[in-house]
Chain A
């Protein structure tokens, strides 16, 4: 069965510090992978998506970046966090068999202070 591992669950970071959130997927190969952010009281904002290793599409220009070094690994990074980067970050996976569901990780609550 397909599972998504996302960590850490919570993170408190000072402004200006770096960030690395990791997401790994099991039970599938060559999936589409997504990073979403959910700010308090707001909907889900698509940040990045990837259809394959090294292929990243950015939806929102900002100080965040994403990388996909392996087929089932998706990393969200920042060199210097801003206060506005606070939010709930969700990794999601849709594997290539269309007609299957979009799986979500359990999320990372990031607080930038």
Chain B
């Protein structure tokens, strides 16, 4: 069955520290992978996406993610977080085919300490 797992519900880091948000997936074919960010009361904004090619993907706001097929993972990273990065982050997978679904993880809420 298709699924996306974000094992960390909450993560707290200090401003200026590095960040890694974990995402693992289960999908029948090679999926398309996305990371989205959602600020309180807002819609979702795409940070980055992976479809093929270079497994290290650069996104907006200084974020990057690395696709590791052997580990079925697509972890999101940022070398130095800013207070404005506090938000909820969602990993999503699919569709490999037109009729497939797009599935989201349950999200990781990021808290930033001053």
CA distance A92 to B38 in the complex (A): 14
Residue among B32, B42, B105 making CB contact with A43, cutoff 8 Å: B105
CA distance A96 to B44 in the complex (A): 20
User: Across the interface, do B104 and A101 meet the contact criterion of CB distance under 8 Å?
Assistant: no
Interface residues of A in 39-90 (CB under 8 A from B): 42-44, 46, 49, 51, 57, 59, 90
User: Across the interface, do B106 and A43 meet the contact criterion of CB distance under 8 Å?
Assistant: yes
Identify the interface centre among A43, A99, A106, A109: most chain B CB within 10 Å of its CB. A43
CA distance A96 to B97 in the complex (A): 10
User: Across the interface, do B99 and A101 meet the contact criterion of CB distance under 8 Å?
Assistant: no
Interface residues of B in 3-54 (CB under 8 A from A): 6, 32, 34, 36, 41-44, 46, 49, 51
CA distance A53 to B109 in the complex (A): 36
Residue among A49, A98, A99 making CB contact with B101, cutoff 8 Å: A49
Footprint of B on A, CB under 8 Å? 32, 34, 36, 42-44, 46, 49, 51, 57, 59, 90, 92, 94, 96, 98-99, 101-102, 104-107, 109
- Could you pull out 19 A-B pairs where Cβ atoms are within 8 angstroms? A43-B106, A43-B107, A46-B104, A51-B98, A51-B99, A92-B102, A94-B95, A96-B98, A98-B32, A98-B51, A98-B98, A99-B32, A99-B51, A101-B34, A101-B49, A104-B36, A104-B44, A106-B43, A107-B42
Footprint of A on B, CB under 8 Å? 6, 32, 34, 36, 41-44, 46, 49, 51, 90, 92, 95, 98-99, 101-107
